[in-house]
A and B are shown apart, each in its own frame.
Chain A
Amino acid sequence: MKGSHKEKEGRTFEVIKSSLTLPYSLELSMALRNLVRRKIRSILATFGVVIGITTMVTLSAVSNGMSSQMVGWVRSFMGSDLVVTHTDSETFSIQENIPEDLVKRISSIDGVTSLTAELDNAATVGEVRTLVRGIRPVEELRGLTLVEGVNLLESPYDMLVGVDLKRECSLRVGDTVKISSPHSAKEFRVVGVFQSQSSLLDRAVIIRLETAQELFRAKNLVSLILVDVREPKMINEIKRQIEGLTGGVKVIRQDAIIKTIQQGKDLLETFLLSVSSISLIIAGVGIMNTMFMSMVERKREIGILKAIGLSRTQIVKIFLLESILIGVFGGLIGVLLGSIFSKAIEYVSLNYLGTSLFVSLNWGILSFGFILALLCASVFGLYPSWRAASLSPMEALRYE
């Protein structure tokens, strides 16, 4: 009773003191120091995780970018029920062209309500190599929204630029920019800025069809014709009629394209999942190996931990923390490298390959990668940790 005042004072002091001490755990510093002590081995185990997570993040970013680009591409045709192209044309290559007179012949088919003809090709706009699309009629911009300026109604050398291209080249309405194709070069005036649902189009230029035909030396040719039909049930009949008009063209239903893309995306995702899981399993086995080696080397230490009274769970925690730390470091570096690689792929694709692959990096992919690294490290670290903690104290102490 006598000491109670003093005791209370002491307790208050303790509370203040413990609130001042940084939250630090013995187990954590033990795990960290053990990793540092066996630098090479820890680095190798971490490296395994880094490879796995980098692969995962890069592949996800690229495949997500590709599929959203594909869907965006299709969305930019939205509103058209049928697409007519050359039989050899692939969705993503620069198109083989078809004769322009087909446009007139299709428009005379009963049930066809509207038609747009397009000519796509790559050209250099200012300094940037990108897609240039000629369209007709210009009055109706399919799937595009004009966010600034006016439509292409006046001069043949007017152009619309996508929002991304505008930003990239710091363009303004009224600016004059040179567009050069392998055949010719012309000055164009920016009259408007548009936004689409495709990252590819947002970086493209739209001009009049006749001007594009002149620029690309493609007189009387178009890449594709977008056809709208009065009633959905007429789609198949009109498709057959168009195919009957001439050989060398294929007619694709809008819904069929979307389905194909969906299938491609699923396939890509399966592939991605298997590549990532294989590399993560390899990383996990690496961690497991490291942890087993650590257990064998530290048998005596485990014996001491047991002898001084640490429980099995407490010892599991000490070892598990070590492999979780490998996961944390590997995950962080992997996510970082994955972001750098995917951006590099985008950069090379845009600037050296003349293609336009936009990767899609987002917090979802990054945090998923990090969590996966942690999960992999914990799962594969658990068994060796459990084995270490299950050694009998005598068995562990005998080892010297």
Chain B
Amino acid sequence: MNRWAVEAYDLVKTYGNGKVRVYALRGVDLKVKQGEIVSIVGPSGCGKSTLLNILGGIDKPTIGRVFVCGEDVTAMNEAELAHFRLKKIGIVFQFFNLIPTLTALENVELRLAASGCGNGVRKDKACELLARVGMNGKEGRKPSELSGGEQQRVAIARALANNPAVVLMDEPTGNLDSITAKDLITMIDKLNAQGQTFVIATHDSSVKESTDRVITMRDGVVIDG
């Protein structure tokens, strides 16, 4: 098996066309080992979210290639990408992660159901995932009945559903009312025991300090790490 969970080569991402072109990434090279916990830091607007979205197969780079577990993500068609996101990637956004009409349990179940997991097993698996992020007892609540931090825990549980190789988190501790850095670190340490790879965009120094490696970005390039 490939020892790299994530490989990115010469990623360039531009927005807009014609005269006004915004460069979000200007040639990023990156490799993350399997089981590694990596944080990406840098000032706001330096391209962290853009990079995570490209690694997760949600966005396409203008130039460059991305491999996850040896598979060329940049060469996949729409259906293959959906399947890749379902099976290989778990993603947690900064805000509004959950489907508002579904309960915490159903939000997790939805991802399991999408990969063909049957009714009975699915419920048990989803309960277990929620327990792993400390959400047991709140399975039946709707997102509107959960605090911001609790919503993020559910999003993390959902990201872990289907046992993805890589979990991507975009500033999970960034705001008021989000999960605390301390809780996140304990949780990730526990989850990482399963061999999952974590890539976390953050500007929280305590998160940064507890990861295996820190990658620093500025103006769309990696300047350190």
Residue of A nearest to B123 (CB): A21
A138 at the B interface (CB under 8 A): no
- A163–B156 CA distance with the chains assembled, in angstroms: 74
- A310–B96 CA distance with the chains assembled, in angstroms: 17
User: Measured between C-beta atoms, what is the minimum distance from B159 to chain A in Å?
Assistant: 8
A34 surroundings in chain B (CB, below 8 A): 101
Which of B79, B87, B120, B159 contacts A21, CB < 8 Å?
A: B120
B97 at the A interface (CB under 8 A): yes
B224 at the A interface (CB under 8 A): no
Contact present for B110 and A312 (CB under 8 Å): no
Which of A15, A23, A310, A400 contacts B86, CB < 8 Å?
A: A310
Stretch touching chain A among B4-12, B53-61, B195-203: B53-61
Stretch touching chain B among A25-33, A196-204, A227-235, A338-346: A25-33
Given A21-B120, A393-B58, A394-B53, the answer on whether A312 and B86 have CB atoms closer than 8 Å is: no
Contact present for A14 and B91 (CB under 8 Å): no
- A26–B83 CA distance with the chains assembled, in angstroms: 19
B102 surroundings in chain A (CB, below 8 A): 26, 29-30, 33
Residue of B nearest to A400 (CB): B96
- A300–B59 CA distance with the chains assembled, in angstroms: 15
B97 surroundings in chain A (CB, below 8 A): 304
Given A304-B96, A314-B114, the answer on whether A309 and B82 have CB atoms closer than 8 Å is: yes
A301 at the B interface (CB under 8 A): yes
Contact present for B106 and A311 (CB under 8 Å): no
- Interfacial residues of chain B within 124-182, with CB under 8 A of chain A in the complex: 124, 158-159, 162
Contact present for A306 and B58 (CB under 8 Å): yes
Q: Which of B91, B99, B109 has the most CB of A within 10 A?
A: B99
B48 at the A interface (CB under 8 A): no
A350 at the B interface (CB under 8 A): no
Interface size class of B (residues with CB under 8 A): 35 or more
Contact present for A300 and B86 (CB under 8 Å): no
Interface size class of A (residues with CB under 8 A): 20 to 34
A37 at the B interface (CB under 8 A): yes
A301 surroundings in chain B (CB, below 8 A): 99-100
Residue of B nearest to A308 (CB): B111
Given A301-B100, A304-B98, A306-B58, the answer on whether A312 and B79 have CB atoms closer than 8 Å is: yes
- A304–B154 CA distance with the chains assembled, in angstroms: 13
A246 at the B interface (CB under 8 A): no
Contact present for B106 and A309 (CB under 8 Å): no
- A26–B78 CA distance with the chains assembled, in angstroms: 24
Residue of A nearest to B56 (CB): A307
Contact present for A308 and B79 (CB under 8 Å): no
- A301–B58 CA distance with the chains assembled, in angstroms: 14
A102 at the B interface (CB under 8 A): no
Main secondary structure of the interface of B (DSSP, over half): helix
A18 at the B interface (CB under 8 A): yes
B124 surroundings in chain A (CB, below 8 A): 14
Contact present for B58 and A310 (CB under 8 Å): no
Given A18-B120, A309-B87, the answer on whether A304 and B99 have CB atoms closer than 8 Å is: yes
Contact present for A26 and B109 (CB under 8 Å): yes
Contact present for A308 and B91 (CB under 8 Å): yes
User: Measured between C-beta atoms, what is the minimum distance from B22 to chain A in Å?
Assistant: 14
A71 at the B interface (CB under 8 A): no
B121 at the A interface (CB under 8 A): yes
A309 surroundings in chain B (CB, below 8 A): 82-87, 89, 111, 114-115, 162
- A14–B121 CA distance with the chains assembled, in angstroms: 7
- A39–B53 CA distance with the chains assembled, in angstroms: 35
Given A30-B99, A304-B99, the answer on whether A310 and B121 have CB atoms closer than 8 Å is: no
- Interfacial residues of chain B within 47-99, with CB under 8 A of chain A in the complex: 53, 56, 58-59, 78-79, 82-87, 89, 91, 93, 95-99
User: Measured between C-beta atoms, what is the minimum distance from B192 to chain A in Å?
Assistant: 21
B121 surroundings in chain A (CB, below 8 A): 14, 18
B96 surroundings in chain A (CB, below 8 A): 300, 304, 400
Given A300-B96, A301-B100, 16 further pairs, Cβ under 8 A: A14-B120, A15-B120, A21-B120, A23-B119, A33-B101, A305-B99, A305-B110, A307-B56, A308-B110, A309-B82, A309-B111, A309-B162, A310-B82, A310-B110, A310-B114, A314-B114
Q: Which residues from chain A sit less than 8 Å from chain B, CB to CB?
A: 14-15, 17-18, 21, 23-24, 26, 29-30, 33-34, 37, 300-301, 304-312, 314, 393-394, 397, 400
Q: 17 A-B pairs, CB-CB below 8 angstroms? A: A24-B119, A26-B102, A26-B109, A29-B106, A33-B101, A33-B102, A300-B96, A301-B99, A306-B82, A307-B56, A308-B85, A308-B114, A309-B82, A309-B83, A310-B82, A310-B86, A314-B114
